[in-house]
């Protein structure tokens, strides 16, 4: 029997002899590889923290001790060790466990982490709460990695953590990767630290002394620390960033030596105050293909667990919207030298890498820093360039103030391309792009566009870079479009103008974006000429002329959107109806006023009531 078979909780783990932990790590890694081959997920990051996960649960008293994973997709081994071993096979599926830590799912998930760079703030809050509650022995540990340390919020938290003397441990899981390789000054700094052989030898010597704190007087302890810090500065030719912020720095250490990690974590428990342990890990550790191609194997889909061959099941004939964006941006940039591309650590995820390959000097990966990405784009636009800033819809939530204050208020021509809008599928509630239509609709001076197909995406991108267009939002979904022949000539789109796709005389259906595709199919099964279909195309400015036409003719109206019904297209239509004193029966379909779980996109649209079948059923009830 495998060791893992006997482990259902961290209490079971603590009964395993230390000399058997390496074997246990191998078994956990094999389970992750085997289960993700059949039911895909975020593979690379979780393979890289198996040893660290085992060591943490072996030493800490979880769930009493707070353990926070950031980013959340590195938590698979954690889930396996905390009572979800059998459920792990159904992760990210409708009704199954989440692919991220989720407080409502397990007491071992101290904090939900789907977006990055939040762990240090949360852990600091928990550490202070423990002090205020008189829980002196309670540990708070933040494991931050896979690019999360490049996020500005992490630095805000570090700056604050250093002024408190709470029992906080930050573990920097340094694998030099997010989805794509890490970029920026922090990454260069960490590489310097990790590769300085002289410093590492010194660190080992000093570590031996500091490990005997309980036998050294406070005065001698401070003396040793001062010598340590001074020599570090000389050898690294710079001060230690973390210690300058008031945190004790330890490392770098081998993040795959589980026995050494156990010893280090036990030693660190004896050292009070805020601390940072720098662990060097390999993303995809233990699976040859994942180690060799870390970007592809971040979330590879299905694969053969023996050969590492990726399995492509019935590849679609139509392109992904993200690839249409990538190819179209390059096409536009070739013609317009003012166009530049910006993304916060997602060049492959949003397909900016297509332009980046040909025009690297005009593309900027700014790291996991959405706020900076938007204001950086505003600075470019202020000097006459035309930035296409591509940020996933759910991540754009983090840069809301920057859009209002730095872009919209100043009327700058920044093109905000929101990938993964609407229901994204198995990543679940933290990643659904549910709110962008609602949260941008109230901002003055912004154009909000949503293409129903690839051709419209191209034309909207073309229109956004024409003179005097101002702040311009284009939102589009995750996944494939509906057109095989999508590379059509670029044409200007008249801003604020929708169109009638199907004539009818009993019900008017108003859609925005790709919701038109399902609506068109549902209407096709309805009695002929009974239902009209209108694609509004722009949520802002609204096509009021078209809406007047609709409300003068119809007393039954349905709106459909791949976004929240609270504040989105349906709300805009109701406001228009009230403002102009029309009277009609209006039915609104979209994402309801609740957080939607994980599952396939089709399953979730059905759950929310705006898939083809649900639209058809609702239309028949309105007809009758």
CA-based nearest residue to 139, from 171, 116, 117:
171
Checking if the pLDDT of 76 tops 70, the result is: yes
Cβ-contact 131, 166 below 8 angstroms: yes
Asked whether the predicted pLDDT for residue 604 surpasses 90, the reply is yes
Q: Which residue has the higher pLDDT, 81 or 239?
A: 81
For the cut 80, the answer to whether the pLDDT of residue 234 exceeds it is no
The C-alpha atoms of residue 235 and residue 197 are separated, in whole angstroms, by: 10
Confidence of residue 64 (pLDDT cuts 50, 70, 90): very high
Cα(131)–Cα(590) distance, integer angstroms: 45
HEC secondary structure over 290-351: HHHCCCHHHCCCCECCCCCCECCCCCCCCCEHHHHHHHHHHHHHHHCCCEEEEECCCHHHHC
pLDDT in tens, 453-512: 999 999 999 999 999 999 999 999 999 999 988 999 999 999 999 999 999 999 999 999
For position 243, what pLDDT does the model report? 87
- pLDDT for the residue 537: 98
Predicted confidence at residue 194, as pLDDT, reads 45
- Kindly tell me if the per-residue pLDDT of 193 is higher than 90: no
Least confidently predicted of 133-137, 330-334, 614-618: 133-137
For residue 92, the model assigns a pLDDT of: 94
238-257: average pLDDT: 87
Q: Which residues are catalytic?
A: 283, 370, 398
Q: What is the mean pLDDT of residues 511-517?
A: 97
Mean pLDDT of 28-55: 95
Confidence category of residue 379, pLDDT binned at 50, 70, 90:
very high
Question: Residue 195 has what pLDDT?
Answer: 42
Residue 118 scores a pLDDT above 60: yes
Helix (H) or strand (E) holding 144: strand 140-145
Q: How far apart are CA 224 and CA 102, in angstroms?
A: 42
Tell me the pLDDT tens digit for each residue of 433-450: 999 999 999 999 999 999
Q: Tell me, what's the pLDDT at 136? A: 84
User: Which pLDDT tens digit goes with each residue over 319-376?
Assistant: 999 999 999 999 999 999 999 999 999 999 999 999 999 999 999 999 999 999 999 9
**pLDDT higher than 50, residue 568:** yes
Burial of 572 (0-12, 13-18, 19+ CB in 10 A): buried
- Distance in angstroms (rounded) separating the CA atoms of residues 145 and 150: 9
Per-residue model confidence (pLDDT) at position 238: 53
Q: How far apart are CA 560 and CA 535, in angstroms?
A: 10
Does residue 220 register a pLDDT over 70?
no
Q: Residue 80: pLDDT above 60?
A: yes
* Average pLDDT taken over every residue of the chain: 91
Mean of pLDDT values over 170-189: 66
- What percent of the chain shows pLDDT beyond 70? 90
pLDDT tens sequence across 517-540 = 999 999 999 999 999 999 999 999
What's the pLDDT score for residue 464? Answer: 98
Confidence of residue 208 (pLDDT cuts 50, 70, 90): low
For residue 303, pLDDT beyond 60: yes
């Amino acid at each position: 029997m495998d060791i893992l078979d006997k482990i259902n909780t961290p209490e079971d783990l603590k009964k395993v002899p230390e000399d058997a932990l390496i074997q246990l790590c191998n078994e956990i890694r094999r389970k992750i590889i085997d289960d993700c081959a059949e039911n895909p997920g975020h593979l690379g990051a979780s393979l890289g923290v198996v040893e660290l996960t085992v060591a943490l649960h072996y030493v800490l008293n979880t769930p009493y001790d707070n353990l926070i994973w950031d980013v959340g997709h590195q938590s698979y081994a954690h889930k396996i060790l905390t009572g979800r071993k059998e459920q792990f096979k159904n992760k990210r599926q409708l009704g199954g466990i989440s692919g991220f830590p989720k407080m409502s799912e397990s007491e071992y998930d101290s904090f939900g982490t789907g977006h990055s760079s939040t762990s240090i703030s949360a852990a600091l809050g928990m550490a202070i709460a423990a002090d205020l509650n008189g829980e002196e022995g309670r540990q708070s540990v933040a494991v931050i990695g896979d690019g999360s340390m490049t996020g500005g919020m992490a630095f805000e938290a570090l700056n604050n953590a250093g002024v408190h003397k709470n029992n906080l441990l930050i573990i920097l899981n340094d694998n030099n990767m997010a989805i794509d390789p890490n970029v920026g000054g922090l990454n260069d700094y960490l590489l310097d630290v990790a590769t300085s052989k002289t410093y590492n030898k010194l660190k080992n010597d000093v570590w031996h002394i500091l490990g005997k704190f309980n036998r050294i007087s406070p005065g001698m302890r401070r003396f040793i620390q001062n010598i340590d810090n001074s020599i570090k500065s000389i050898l690294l030719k710079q001060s230690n960033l973390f210690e300058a912020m008031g945190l004790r720095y330890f490392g770098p250490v081998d993040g795959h030596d589980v026995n050494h990690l156990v010893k280090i974590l036990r030693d660190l428990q004896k050292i009070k105050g805020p601390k940072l342990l720098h662990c060097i890990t390999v993303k995809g550790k233990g699976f040859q293909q994942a180690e060799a191609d870390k970007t592809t194997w971040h979330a590879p889909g299905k694969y053969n667990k023996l050969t590492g061959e990726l399995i492509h099941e019935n590849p679609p004939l139509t392109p992904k919207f993200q690839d249409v964006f990538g190819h179209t941006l390059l096409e536009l940039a070739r013609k317009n030298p003012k166009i530049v591309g910006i993304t916060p650590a997602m060049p492959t995820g949003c397909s900016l890498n297509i332009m980046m390959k040909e025009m690297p000097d005009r593309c900027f990966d700014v790291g996991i820093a959405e706020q900076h990405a938007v204001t950086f784009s505003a600075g470019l636009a202020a000097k006459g360039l035309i930035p296409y800033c591509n940020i996933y819809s759910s991540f754009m939530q983090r840069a809301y103030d920057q859009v209002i204050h730095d872009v919209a208020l100043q009327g700058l021509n920044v093109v905000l391309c929101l990938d993964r809008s609407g229901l994204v599928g198995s990543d679940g509630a933290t990643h659904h792009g549910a709110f962008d239509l609602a949260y941008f609709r109230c901002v003055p001076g912004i154009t909000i566009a949503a293409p129903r197909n690839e051709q419209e995406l191209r034309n909207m991108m073309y229109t956004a870079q024409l003179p005097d267009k101002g702040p311009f939002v284009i939102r589009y979904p995750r996944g494939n479009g509906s057109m095989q022949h999508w590379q059509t000539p670029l044409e200007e789109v008249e801003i604020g103008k929708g169109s009638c796709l199907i004539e009818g005389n009993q019900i008017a259906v108003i859609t925005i974006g790709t919701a038109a595709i399902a609506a068109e199919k549902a209407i096709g099964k309805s009695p002929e000429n009974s239902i009209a279909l209108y694609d509004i195309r722009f949520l802002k400015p609204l096509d009021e002329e078209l809406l007047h036409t609709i409300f003068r003719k119809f007393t039954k109206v349905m709106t459909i959107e791949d976004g929240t019904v609270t504040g989105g297209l349906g709300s805009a239509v109701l406001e228009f109806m009230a403002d102009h004193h029309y009277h009609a029966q209006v039915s609104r379909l979209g994402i309801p006023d609740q957080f939607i779980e994980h599952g396939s996109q089709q399953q979730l649209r059905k759950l929310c009531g705006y898939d083809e079948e649900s639209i058809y059923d609702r239309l028949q009830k309105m007809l009758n």
